[in-house]
Amino acid sequence: MDAPVCLITGASSGIGEALALEHARRGHHVVVLGRRLDKLEALAAKLSALGHGPGKKDKKEALALACDVSVDGQIEEAVRATLARFGRLDLAIANAGISIDGAFEQTTLAAQRQVMETNYFGILRTAYACFEPLRASKGGFAAVGSVSGFVCVPGFTAYTASKFAVRGFLGTLEVEWARHGIAVTHIAPGFVESEIRTKRPDGRATRDPIPPWVVMKAPVAARDIADALAARRPEIVVTAHGKVIVQVARHAPRTLARLLHAARSKVPGFGRQR
């Protein structure tokens, strides 16, 4: 098993699924994690098929494991299973995330905690579980934040707070883990093809409020992200509109927050950036 091994959480759809396919094409063995094992197993079969055919000398393996990063112990077990199967880990991408709409007074403490358990503590759990094998391989750790981690988005207090926390954590981790030879990358998507705007944590489906012409296709985003990870970049902002929003947020954050508040009243899902 000399090929690099990539582990991705939240891989059953959207950016996670696209990243799994992209890294399989680039020669990685891929471990896909998530709560929907049926979708993961179908994806794993597709990933394994990418290792066959004309010109493909090495068979690439894929492993699908049920894992909820908001539950203590599950990501640790998934990493142990990965090492048992492949003997190494070279890249871990913490992609799992959820969103709950609502201004602060419209949400409960339980809802706020639910978002943080997945979006922030899920990344922490993944980092703790992957640290030792990544230190051994001098590999890379990446987590998917959001453009919402740069700008305060009224109407999405839980989601925005979680993404600010992710950005701060990864910025610190990037410096701390450099001495171990581990590259840390903050991935900040704008509007990318994803279920986060169309599927609520309770499973209910909603219409994507963002016009299709604004939304970047997940495979396109995955190629850009994979390039950044291969270059061991500390941060990548995905989508042109995301880059613009981040630059405005750095120079006129309160003005931008007011503009987003106005947009939020017209486009209910505007604040969910991935």
CA-wise closest residue to 244 among 214, 212, 203? 214
Residue 126, pLDDT score: 98
Backbone angles phi, psi at 183, to 5 degrees: -85, 135
Q: Which of 86, 120, 159, 164 is catalytic?
A: 159
Lowest-confidence region among 66-70, 99-103, 229-233, 240-244: 99-103
Structure-block tokens of residue 221: 């985003």
- Sequence-distant (≥ 6) Cβ neighbours of residue 244 within 8 angstroms: none
How do residues 121-146 score in pLDDT, each as one tens digit?
Answer: 999 999 999 999 999 999 999 999 99
**Interior CA angle at 25 toward 24 and 31, to 5°?**
5
The secondary structure of 189-239 as a DSSP string is ESSBS-GGGTB-TTS-B----S-TTTSBPHHHHHHHHHHHHHTT-SEEEES
How do residues 158-212 score in pLDDT, each as one tens digit?
Answer: 999 999 999 999 999 999 999 999 999 999 999 998 776 666 656 666 666 676 7
128 is catalytic: no
Give all domains of the chain, ordered by start, each with its CATH number.
5-266 (3.40.50.720)
Determine what percent of the chain is predicted with pLDDT higher than 90: 70
Q: How many residues does the chain have?
A: 274
pTM to 2 decimal places = 0.88
How do residues 32-85 score in pLDDT, each as one tens digit?
Answer: 999 999 999 999 999 988 865 444 556 679 999 999 999 999 999 999 999 999
Residue 53, pLDDT score: 47
For residue 151, name the pLDDT band (cuts at 50, 70, 90): confident
